[in-house]
Amino acid sequence: EPEVTQTPSHQVTQMGQEVILRCVPISNHLYFYWYRQILGQKVEFLVSFYNNEISEKSEIFDDQFSVERPDGSNFTLKIRSTKLEDSAMYFCASSEGTSASSPLHFGNGTRLTVT
Amino acid sequence: GNSVTQMEGPVTLSEEAFLTINCTYTATGYPSLFWYVQYPGEGLQLLLKATKADDKGSNKGFEATYRKETTSFHLEKGSVQVSDSAVYFCALSPQGGSEKLVFGKGTKLTVNP
């Protein structure tokens, strides 16, 4: 069964550094998402992406964050200058249709640790 | 605003025990409701869903009924197995075309043989 893959599984970075989290969504899916889960807290929506542009973003997704689908297969999340509070598990997801009508398929996540 | 509250874990049960994980929500209108499950080392995957009041979602022996009057979507299974050990997340998709899912904190279930 096709699946969403995320790399790396664990990323350690120093505060102020840029990180790029990578995802390969399922190939025929049209909607792409990033969520994150800070340890012990809820899974939080960051951003959705459709038709090569951001369709919705949360208040967490400020100017430090950006997303890109550079080559038709990868979907990346960039954090320009990481802060300690960015430490979390970041999940990529994709779906055929909208989240209300189609199940989201999640990757295994990237654990980001900012020191 | 939209929010989901689910029972605090962890929950530990013996095999063949009855499972209930409570979930209540706050939302305007008629959201769609979901249960996602995360097995160890894997990503979240959809377990079941319900899109309107009184709908019952079911899958792999799990059931949940969309109760508008109590704003609840409790997850139940009559007889759990060791392989059901996982983290269970209740979630909603707001009415009105929002793309985001709003999740609860997750409830860790451990089933012992």
Q: Which residues of B touch A95 (CB under 8 A)?
A: none
Which pLDDT does position B55 carry in this prediction? 95
Which of B45, B49, B103 has its CB closest to that of A42?
Answer: B103
Which pLDDT does position A69 carry in this prediction? 92
Which of B41, B89, B99 has its CB closest to that of A99?
Answer: B99
Task: With a cut of 50, list the residues of chain A below it in pLDDT.
Answer: none
CA distance B77 to chain A (A): 21
* B3-20 pLDDT, tens digit each: 999 988 899 999 999 999
Q: Which residue has the tokens 């960039």?
A: A78
- Interface contact flag, A100 B41, Cβ < 8 Å: no
As a whole number of angstroms, the distance between CA A5 and CA A32 comes to 13
Which pLDDT does position B29 carry in this prediction? 85
As a whole number of angstroms, the distance between CA B20 and CA B33 comes to 16
> Counting beta carbons within 10 angstroms of the beta carbon of residue A49, is it exposed (0 to 12), middle (13 to 18) or buried (19 or more)?
buried
Beta-sheet pairing, A10-13 with A110-114: parallel
- Interface contact flag, B101 A45, Cβ < 8 Å: yes
Which mean pLDDT values do the consecutive 10-residue runs of chain B (113 residues) have? Answer: 90 97 93 93 90 94 97 97 96 82 94 96
* Cβ contacts from A onto B, under 8 A: 63
Report the percentage of chain B scoring pLDDT > 70: 99
Which pLDDT does position A1 carry in this prediction? 72
